[in-house]
Amino acid sequence: MIKQVFIVFGCLALGNIIVALTGLPLPASIVGMLILTVLLMTRLVHVEELKLLSDFFNSHMAFFFVPAGVSVMLYLDLIREYFFPIVVAAFASTVLVIITTGWTHQYMRNRNKKK
């Protein structure tokens, strides 16, 4: 499990270094996840190597949402003040995601039928 932790946190550290050196306008955690994705896609790291750690994270996922829940409670007055715009934005973005997903699926299905 030490090797798995080293791989995941190594990608995160590499993401931090890249963002610090280049000034990329992305969170370092996203850059780290992209690095891990590239490592998995190129098979430099195999999925089986990270199975135990990923199972651990999945089984304890509720624990990782506690800080987000506390943050929501801290900003309840702000959420109450902007409740309507938040609901409209959430609804609109959900509809856009559904439409975009549907169009993408249709495009890919039609593209595969032509081949």
Residue 72 pLDDT level (bands cut at 50, 70, 90): confident
- Does the model's pTM come out above 0.75? no
Query: Domains of the chain: which residue ranges?
Result: 1-61, 65-115
Q: How far apart are CA 46 and CA 112, in angstroms?
A: 28
Q: Would you tell me the crossing angle of helices 28-41 and 2-22 to the nearest 10 degrees? A: 120
Judge contact between 53 and 11, C-beta under 8 A.
Answer: no
Judge contact between 4 and 50, C-beta under 8 A.
Answer: yes
Residue appearing with tokens 């506690």: 66
Give the mean pLDDT of 75-104.
96
Would you state the structure tokens that stand for residue 54, as one six-digit string? 């990923």
Q: How many CB atoms lie within 10 A of CB 45?
A: 19
Question: If DSSP codes are grouped into helix, strand and coil, which group holds residue 26?
Answer: coil
Residue type, 37: T
Q: What would the pLDDT profile of 32-60 be if each residue is shown by its tens digit?
A: 999 999 999 999 999 999 999 999 989 99
Q: What would the pLDDT profile of 6-35 be if each residue is shown by its tens digit?
A: 999 999 999 999 999 999 999 999 999 999
DSSP 65: T
Encode 80-104: b = buried (16+ Cβ within 10 Å), e = exposed: eeeeeeeeeeeeeeeeeeeeeeeee
